[in-house]
Amino acid sequence: MNSSDPFDRMRFTVRRVSWWQVAVVVAVALAVGIALALVAASVFLVVFPIIAIAGIAYRLFGGRKRPAGGATVIDAEYRILSPEEAAREREAAWDPNRRLR
């Protein structure tokens, strides 16, 4: 059947849905939702204690060891270079004969 309406394919029809079809869709949606909630709760009940025990063990036995003497202070001397001095130091450090690897 050839239609002259260019929007014929874009039209949609509204069907009447009976009450039992709505009830089946709602029941399936509830069943899937309850199943997902049960899976999520069981995974949480299994994974959470493992993570909690691992965190407590890491806190008690692992981690970075702190030095016994307290904080370590590094003492150094600093000097401020003028731009000319910095350029001279850069030129002295650059060797044109050095091969890059």
Each residue's pLDDT tens digit in the chain (101 positions)?
Answer: 566 767 667 777 788 889 999 999 999 999 999 999 999 999 999 999 999 999 999 988 887 766 666 677 778 888 888 888 888 877 777 766 766 54
User: How far apart are alpha carbons 51 and 41 in whole angstroms?
Assistant: 15
Q: Please tell me the number of Cα atoms within 13 Å of 62 on its side-chain side.
A: 7
User: How far apart are alpha carbons 83 and 91 in whole angstroms?
Assistant: 12
Predicted TM-score (pTM) of this structure: 0.43
The two tokens of residue 69 are 């003497």
Please give the biggest Cα pair distance in the chain: 93
Q: How many CB atoms lie within 10 A of CB 43?
A: 10
